[in-house]
Amino acid sequence: MAGPSLMDSLFQRSLDDLIKGLRLHQPTSESTFISKSLDEIRREIKSTDPQTKSTALQKLNYLHSLHGLDMSWAAFHAIEVISSQNFQQKKVGYLAASLSFHSSTDVILLLTNQLRKDLSSNNVFEVSLALECLSMICTVDLARDLTPEIFTLLGSTKSFIKKKAIATVLRIFEKYPDAVRVCFKRLIENLESNDVGIVSAVMGVFCELALKEPKSYLPLAPEFYRILVDSRNNWVLIKVLKVFSKLAILEPRLAKRVVEPICEHMRRSGAKSLVFECVRTILSSLSEYESALKLAVEKVREFLVDDDPNLKYLGLQALLVVSLKHLWAVLENKDLVIKSLSDDDPNIKLEALQLVMAMVSEDNVHEICKVLISYALKSEPAFCNEILGSILSTCCRNVYEIIIDFDWYVSLLGEISRIPHCQNGEEIEKQLIDIGMRVKDVRSELVRVGRELMIDPALLGNPVIHRILSAAAWVSGEYVELSKNPFELMEALLQPRTILLPPSIRAIYVQSAFKVLIFCLYSYLFPDEAVASSPSLPVDLDPGVTSSISPKEFSESSDVVVTEPLADREMDEGFNPRDISQSLEDVSVGNGGDTVIAHEQTSCSATLKKDYFTQESIVKLLDLVERTLCPLMGTHEVEIQERVGNIRGLTELIKQELPEFLVHKERNVEGVKVKALEIVKLMHDAFLEELGPVSTSAQERVPIPEGLMLMENLGDLEGICGDIQLPIPSQFCFGRPHSGGRESTSLFNQQTDEESETSYECTSLLAEHRKRHGLYYLPSEKLETISNACPPAKDPQHSDDVNDDGQDLVKLTEQSLVPKKKPNRAKPRPVVVKLDEVDGITIAVSKPESKDYLISGAVREVLLGNEVSSAQHKLPDKSSNKRREKDKLDIDQPSETKENLANVGKSETSTSKKSKHHIPGKERKHKSSRTNADEREDVQKDKTKSGHHNPRHKARQRADDNVDVIAQTPVIPDFLL
């Protein structure tokens, strides 16, 4: 490109020309005009004539601001223009710098000298320009180099300059904390200035600083208090209030003193902004002062009835702040809150909704949900979903804390699913399955709701509901024994419109169909046991009841339960002709049987059920399955294809052997075994095993299998696994794959288990894994109302020590609720600390649990007949594991306390006043900076008269970690627990 010529300078377009030109062009041709202008600017900006250059820069500024053009390339030219003698040109240059410079602009260092020169200029406007620019682009280097100039300006006699210098100090402090040493004293002196503008500027700075790290400013409280009482400027008062709202939390005595003046302002002031600030300060920080709180709530009510939507909105927000601690304040304004739900303003509606949700409790959850649902139906889709979402999240809070009537809740979920434009499918899916696993008593209702959803072909057409349908299908399959009509379920699962479902959900449908099929076959082939097993789920397990009428294998298995297994095991094995793993299944079935006998009404319903399973119905069922699923063999989705393959294999086998079986059955021949029969039985037992909720710490409790080197490269593992490709990263530990599964202690993770490729050759394996899997579910985490339902019904070990379990349960619920409560708080906590906390709890939880594991794990090993040795090996392995955890804990704690001690010592020496507000644990992060800070403190002590403002520069460095610090403190009590 040619250099700028004289002609360019003479006929340069001015900014006005550019703007006019832009406005004449249509939006379509605008971009070409802009790029043409940009070319001109690039040429003109190289001109030697300062006027041409600055005009070019001015145009660039404009294009940058309004059209987002990049102007970082012109950084050097901006500096050239800044150095101009002409004020107008200088101004353009400074504007360009503040618009485009940032910390990585390399030429920024060239600006230092020019800034220094302008800061000490006699022209106040030049000084002002330089200050403005500095406050925008301040870097560490600039801050360090220009601190002396700023210090001088802080003592300026012209308030025009002084207040700008004060505002600039904030940026300087942020970048260069050492500047505090130099400037802080002068800053404080300005608090006593008579000029409102200056006080306002200083308060602005302190407000920003105190919001980040309030502790350090406690010593300044007297000055702030004086301003609070004396000042009549609302802007200043608001800033002071903001500072006090932070300080009052830290120092109760201070709170006591300020509460009266604040109330006074609240009564006296006509400025809504000041009143609101007072209200907010009281609600957030001084809510323990009853009279003040009452007054504040009164004011809030005034806001709520005001016509101004802004006040209404802010009033609702203020209520939300106080709702956590003083719910009565919300309840008092209940009418207004409910009314606000129907406001035109979406913001107000959302706030009101949050408040309504805050009012929900066990007693009123029914009514509130009813009102809200009817309300949701009337409102527009976005808000409707907002309502539904908050209902869902409120109800599932703390593991469904507020729900007592789960039947009602489950049917509510069903109702919500049917609301048009419901977008919460995923959450409903999660909750349906979660409730199914956690709450036993509600399962029959769950199956009913699931059935209603599934048999409605219209719902299949709505993609939003697919996730819910998948949950419904899963529930129907998993708890099919509670269904009134399994055949109907099967038809629903296989209805032609399922083609509309996405493959992953279709796979769940197919799997559920498989479960239903197995159940039907089992009920037909083993009518007695079906009676026994099917209704056993909802009733309590009671090992003490020994049955006299139990069928053949029950008696032997009951023995196993009643007499502790280790010794009897061999004997048991001895006269059990079948596979060992199967005998375990029998145990569970047996237990079920016992209970049923204890509960007559259930067995009654079960006999009714028996009539369903006639030969025709079964044959029809098999036909239906074959007919609908065979076409799916050709699908491209492996998940579906595989599952269909499994079902098909089974149905073919059954069809072959069914006639044979019937012959045997008619002759009443005992002991004849048909292959298909056994498979059906195995599968049924496998599916009967309950899936429970998984604790977040489940992974911790998995013993490391022998011979597994976790530290080694996974490549080796791959070698061991051979050609079986397991999705390793998503799972944690399982020693060996299927091939070695028998003798290894391998553990299959839930995922593979749940939707396992249940090819029937490995049924026994699967059953075993399923059995064992139960161990890692947290049996508790349930509500008090249903806590008696916790031990898995089919679990002999659990039944042995019901009492222990009960105690564990109490502990577990206590502990496991802790981490769940916190995320619900309005303030999100940083991730790191959350992990810390979760770890702490995991360790605590794993202790009772692992003990439980030791017992039950050993028993299971023995019962399963896996080599006894492996079980024994596990014992030391596990305990050492536990010890390791303990060690970890021990190590953590002393180091923590050590630090605390060091902490206290230090702070005692450095500042006397501060130490009592010290939050331990934070120092860890600042070890390095502390030494620095201490030195500085000493220096500062000599300098400042009052000596205790000094920790404030430390604050600078801490400010960033401040969030961590706050969140870290609750960790300590958790550890102490």
Would you tell me which residues interact with other proteins (CB under 8 A)? Answer: 15-16, 19-20, 23, 27, 58, 61-62, 65-66, 88, 91-92, 95, 99, 125, 128, 131-132, 135-136, 160, 163-164, 167-168, 170-171, 197, 200-201, 204-205, 207-208, 211-212, 234-235, 238, 242, 272-273, 276-277, 308-310, 312-314, 344-348
- Minimum distance, C-beta of residue 109 to other proteins, in the bound complex (Å): 20
Q: How far apart are CA 823 and CA 843, in angstroms?
A: 20
**CB closer to other proteins out of 205 and 844:** 205
From first CA to last CA, the distance across the chain in angstroms is 75
Q: How many beta carbons lie within 10 A of that of residue 669, not counting itself? A: 9
Of residues 308 and 761, the one with the C-beta less far from other proteins: 308
Q: State which residue, 311 or 329, has the beta carbon closest to other proteins.
A: 311
Location of structure tokens 């000029």 = 195
| Smallest distance from other proteins to CB 61, Å | 8
Closer of 203 and 644 to other proteins (Cβ): 203
Residue 348 or 446 with smaller CB distance to other proteins: 348
Q: How far is the CB of 387 from other proteins (least distance, A)?
A: 17
For other proteins, the closer CB: 156 or 752? 156
- Asked if 300 and 315 touch (Cβ cutoff 8 Å), the reply is yes
Nearer to other proteins, 242 or 736 (CB): 242
Whose Cβ is closer to other proteins: residue 26's or residue 548's?
A: 26
- For other proteins, the closer of residues 176 and 777 by Cβ is 176
- C-alpha 523, offset from chain centre: 43
DSSP 14: P
Torsion of CA 290, 296, 300, 305, to 10 degrees: 90
Query: Minimum distance between the CB of residue 132 and other proteins, rounded to whole angstroms?
Result: 5
Smallest gap from residue 168 Cβ to other proteins (A):
6
Minimum CB distance to other proteins, residue 100 (Å): 11
- Minimal distance, residue 331 CB to other proteins, in Å: 24
Closest CA relative to residue 956, chosen from 188, 170, 207: 170
Distance of closest approach, residue 30 Cβ to other proteins, in angstroms: 9
CB nearer to other proteins: give 66 or 229: 66
Nearest to 690 by CA among 498, 393, 433, 977: 433
Q: Enter the tokens of residue 651.
A: 């149905």
Q: 3-state DSSP call for residue 694?
A: strand
Distance of CA 753 to the CA centre of its chain: 26
Neighbours of 87 (CB within 10 A): 12
Residue 915 CB, shortest distance to other proteins, in Å, is 27
C-alpha closest to that of 482 among 609, 670, 373: 609
CB closer to other proteins out of 242 and 882: 242
CA distance 698 to 183: 55
Alpha-carbon dihedral angle through residues 482, 486, 491, 493, given to the nearest 10 degrees? 40
d(CA 181, CA 185): 8
Cβ–Cβ under 8 Å, residues 506 and 409 = no
Q: How far is the CB of 312 from other proteins (least distance, A)?
A: 7
Closest to other proteins by CB, 188 vs 624, is 188
Q: Residue with structure tokens 């508790």? A: 780
Q: How far is the CB of 371 from other proteins (least distance, A)?
A: 24
CA nearest neighbour of 861 among 771, 800, 801:
771
Q: Which CB, 234 or 752, lies closer to other proteins?
A: 234
Q: Which is nearer to other proteins, 236 or 767 (CB)?
A: 236
Q: Output 387 or 606, the one with its CB closest to other proteins.
A: 387
Residue 239 Cβ, how far from other proteins at the closest point, in Å? 8
* CB of 917 vs other proteins, minimal distance in Å: 21
Q: How far is the CB of 906 from other proteins (least distance, A)?
A: 28
**Could you write out the DSSP letters of every residue in 938-963?**
HHHHHHSSS-TTTHHHHHHHHHTTHH
Chain mean position to CA 604: 46
Residues with Cβ within 8 Å of residue 64, at least 6 apart in sequence? 70, 71, 99, 100
* Strand partners of residue 777: 694
What type of residue sits at position 264?
A: E
- Shortest Å, Cβ 89 to other proteins: 12
Contact 491, 625 (CB under 8 A): no
State the minimum distance, in angstroms, from the CB of residue 316 to other proteins: 10
56 token code pair: 């070019």
Distance, in Å, from the CA atom of 255 to the CA atom of 250, rounded to the nearest integer, reads 9
Q: Of 15 and 359, which has the nearer Cβ to other proteins?
A: 15
Per-residue exposure over 338-353, b if at least 16 CB sit within 10 Å of its own CB, e if not: bebbebeeeebbbbbb
C-alpha closest to that of 116 among 86, 170, 89, 153: 153
Closer to other proteins by CB, 830 or 865: give it. 830
Rounded Cα–Cα distance for residues 92 and 58 (Å): 6
Tokens linked to 694? 């998984």
744/736 Cα distance (integer angstroms) = 7
Least Å distance, CB 208 to other proteins, is 5
- Give the integer Cα–Cα distance in Å for 413 and 53: 69
Range 807-810 contact pairs with CB under 8 angstroms and sequence separation of 24 or more: 807/848, 808/780, 808/848, 808/849, 808/852, 809/779, 809/780, 809/782
The label of the residue with tokens 């055949």 reads 487
